[in-house]
Amino acid sequence: MRINELGIVITYKCNSQCRMCNIWKRSEGDELEAKYFSRLPEDLKIIGLTGGEPFLREDIVEVYRLIRKQCPAAKITLGSNGMATDLITRYMLDILKFDKNANVIISLDGIGKMHDRMRGVEGAFVRVMHTIESLKKIGLRGLGLNFTISEENLGEMKDVYDLSRKLNLKISFVLAHNSEIYYRTDNKPLENLTLLGAQLNYIIGKELGSFNIKRWLKAYYLGGIFDFAKYGRRRCKCSAGLFTLFVDANGDIYPCLKLNKRIGNLKDFDFEKIDKLQMRRWTGQCPDPCWLGCSVYPVLRKRPYLALGWLVKAKLKSVFGLRTLDG
């Protein structure tokens, strides 16, 4: 089993003040020198570049170029808050000159004032809309949205989902989590599970109604959000440390973005010598499990059959007009 998916924080600089994340309060300005990204395994398949706000890293184009050169087959996605429209557009124009397959996922946590409130910045929603328009204009094909679910904004999931369909953009949803090594927050578990269930039932119904296996797997993942919020358990084991890893802004490497078990630094790490038994032990005893997409989709990509039983039942329920979730 080889590592083939990596999440990499390329900077902690951030121009947002999100309610569910404390990264913008971090004082350290660590940024791993760009040259070390040439040490990534060349057969990586999926790479997520994130922050902070990754477009605030001044040499982002150089970082991206090095990663693309080192990992020619990887799908590379930049996760952005979409605030700095001009900067993002300028850098993406440069990146698209040598990589037409680049992807950008922009955070959108509500409509209008709700998004502004969640992101702590007046006018954030309008800025995101401008960024989407601008990135479409320059021909970025791989553009999508991400909604972070918390108690305050969960009532707008359906509206943001509908907006994403209208804009013809893919959308993912993720529960706000805590992480002592990354976000450093104290998000509370969701309480209004009835509303969560109603919002998810709507979105799952739409995804199951498609003729697209990826969207069915997304429905399975979304159903898992409800299970996790209600029972605090995962539907399937995670792949942390087995074929996925997380790299901090200073190059420190962890099995995932939550588990505080540093296993080395990109400056001198040997990806061939990961102790997989140790990884299994650690993740098997994970003190604070998650249901983050980055811990679910890698498993589903390798073992899509894990979703089969749930999907058959959910499809049948949707055919008979029944709700998929009991929330």
Residue ranges in contact with ligand SF4 by CB under 6 A: 14, 16, 18, 21, 23-24, 51-53, 81, 238, 240, 255-256, 258-259, 283, 286, 289-290, 295
List the structure tokens of 100: 């037409």
Nearer to ligand SF4, 289 or 304 (CB): 289
Nearer to ligand SF4, 23 or 114 (CB): 23
Distance, in Å, from the CA atom of 77 to the CA atom of 50, rounded to the nearest integer, reads 8
Distance, in Å, from the CA atom of 264 to the CA atom of 255, rounded to the nearest integer, reads 10
The least CB distance from residue 141 to ligand SF4, in Å, is 24
The least CB distance from residue 39 to ligand SF4, in Å, is 23
Distance, in Å, from the CA atom of 278 to the CA atom of 173, rounded to the nearest integer, reads 31
The least CB distance from residue 62 to ligand SF4, in Å, is 21
Nearer to ligand SF4, 143 or 208 (CB): 143
Nearer to ligand SF4, 68 or 224 (CB): 224
Nearer to ligand SF4, 127 or 258 (CB): 258
Strands (E), the chain: 5-9, 46-50, 75-80, 103-107, 142-149, 170-175, 244-247, 252-254, 264-265
Three-class secondary structure of residue 50 per DSSP: strand
The least CB distance from residue 121 to ligand SF4, in Å, is 9
Distance, in Å, from the CA atom of 218 to the CA atom of 164, rounded to the nearest integer, reads 15
The least CB distance from residue 145 to ligand SF4, in Å, is 14
The least CB distance from residue 294 to ligand SF4, in Å, is 7
Q: What long-range pairs does 134-138 form, CB within 8 A, spacing at least 24?
A: 134/85, 134/88, 134/89, 135/88, 135/89, 135/92, 135/104, 138/89, 138/92, 138/93, 138/96
Nearer to ligand SF4, 173 or 324 (CB): 173
Distance, in Å, from the CA atom of 30 to the CA atom of 235, rounded to the nearest integer, reads 36
| In the block, residue with structure tokens 């930049």 | 78
The least CB distance from residue 1 to ligand SF4, in Å, is 15
Nearer to ligand SF4, 18 or 203 (CB): 18
